[in-house]
Amino acid sequence: MNVSDETLPTAADTGDVPKSASYYGRPIVKPHVWKPYIAWYFWIGGAAGAASVECVCARMRGADALATVEKRAALAGVLVAPVLLIADLGVPSRFINMLRVFKLTSPMNLGSWILTAFGGAIGASTFAELLGWKRTSRALEVVAAGLGPALTVYTAVLIADTATPVWHEAGDTLPFVFAASGVASAGAVGVAFAPSQQNGSARRLMIGGAIGLLAAGATMEKRLGPLLGEPYRTGTGGSFRATSGALSAAGIVVGLLGHKNRTASRLAAACVAAACVLERFAVSAAGKQSAQDPKYTIEPQRARLNARRDLDLESSG
């Protein structure tokens, strides 16, 4: 049991009734208990999904070197992802229980199926490639690209489908933050590892994704409003988010100015990738912060109750 003394009753100190009544300032909802593995998975899975789409797009215009880089990135992603997910389980030996049901009301269950299918497609495509079955390999790349976007955004649905205030209330914008992060990361991989004569589209994706990440993040914070936006401005969540924003901006500027220079391009790619990782950590930390202080749970619910009561009064009177 965690007994922190930072939130002991304010009323005892001031002798006044606290602004928003709570039970000794204790949390009402429980903060998530996921280890940092999960934030890393959100980034890696998201990037792998977007990379599969970029792989097919590159293939279609004959940029095979770029397509191969993106495919390898997606493969690396799906190899690492299950390790991260299983490491976070309380009973890792029971990881396969994730697939014992198919459950539409559980985004984590659907996500497990999506990841399994996506991993199967990318893995089989790579295997077919090794055997020299070019057409099969290409077809499986398209299958993976069909699942990729779902892999990138389902994690946003997963966390929004909780009682964690800043996640649930941001359900409409979180998928765009995660999609932008995936696109920017896939672009950064292409910029960093594909030959420079083929990575034009990757560069545009990287810069476009980074701009999208800044825009989606700002929109999310604005829509959360002054109170629920707080966890993204203060504490660990605020620090992660500010650093992520600065790295995005740096990546955009360096990427635009130094696009003829290999080293500068790679520096920009590193900045953007780091920004995307930190955005996931910001979301994780802000979620925790919003669950730990009961005001984020109580005040929006109170406001909703009052609005409903006013509506009832209106309709009855």
Partner 1 sequence: MSDIYDETAAEREMATYPAGESRKGFFTDTTLCIGCKACEVACKEWNQLPADGYAFTGNSYDNTGELNGSTWRHVAFVEQLRGGATAPSPPPQQSKSQSQAQSQGTASGDHQVLRADAGRWLMESDVCKHCTHAACLDVCPTGALVRTEFGTVLVQQDVCNGCGYCVPACPFGVIDKRDYDGHAGKCTLCYDRLQDGETPACAKACPTESIQYGDVEELRTRADARLAKLQREGQYTDASLYLRDTGDGIGGAGAFFLLLDKPEVYGLPPDPFDTTRDLGRLWRHAGYAALALVGVTALAALGTRR
Kindly identify the residues of this chain, within the stretch 18-77, that bind partner 1 according to CB under 8 A. 18, 20-24, 26-34, 50, 53-54, 57-58, 60-63, 66
Element (H, E) at 19: none
Smallest distance from partner 1 to CB 104, Å? 8
Nearer to partner 1, 128 or 167 (CB): 167
Count how many Cα atoms sit within 13 Å of the Cα of residue 265 in the half-sphere of its side chain.
21
Amino acid type, 56: V
Smallest distance from partner 1 to CB 109, Å? 4
CA distances to 46, 80, 252 from 214, in Å: 17, 27, 11
Write down the H helix ranges in the chain.
10-14, 36-60, 64-88, 107-131, 134-160, 165-168, 174-193, 200-228, 235-257, 262-292, 295-316
Is 179 near partner 1 (CB under 8 A)?
yes
Nearer to partner 1, 212 or 229 (CB): 212
Nearer to partner 1, 92 or 261 (CB): 92
Smallest distance from partner 1 to CB 275, Å? 17
Q: Could you say which residues in the range 278-297 bind partner 1, by CB under 8 A?
A: 287, 291, 294, 297
**Residues 192/73, Cβ–Cβ less than 8 Å:** no
The Cα–Cα gap between 123 and 117 comes to 10
Smallest distance from partner 1 to CB 131, Å? 28
Number of residues that bind partner 1 (CB under 8 A): 101
The interface region with partner 1, picked from 99-107, 231-239, 253-261, 263-271 by CB under 8 A, is 99-107
Kindly tell me which residue out of 77, 119, 212, 217 binds partner 1, with binding defined by CB under 8 A.
212
The Cα–Cα gap between 76 and 147 comes to 16
The interface region with partner 1, picked from 91-99, 123-131, 135-143, 268-276 by CB under 8 A, is 91-99
**Residues 251/268, Cβ–Cβ less than 8 Å:** yes
Residues 240-279, mask of contacts with partner 1 (x by CB under 8 A): ----------------------------------------
The Cα–Cα gap between 140 and 250 comes to 36
Q: Could you say which residues in the range 102-131 bind partner 1, by CB under 8 A?
A: 103, 105-109, 111-112
CA distances to 220, 293, 297, 305 from 302, in Å: 22, 15, 9, 5
Smallest distance from partner 1 to CB 111, Å? 8
Element (H, E) at 99: none
Amino acid type, 206: M
Nearer to partner 1, 76 or 150 (CB): 150
Nearer to partner 1, 34 or 133 (CB): 34
Provide the token pair at 20.
């928003």
Smallest distance from partner 1 to CB 153, Å? 4
Nearer to partner 1, 2 or 263 (CB): 2
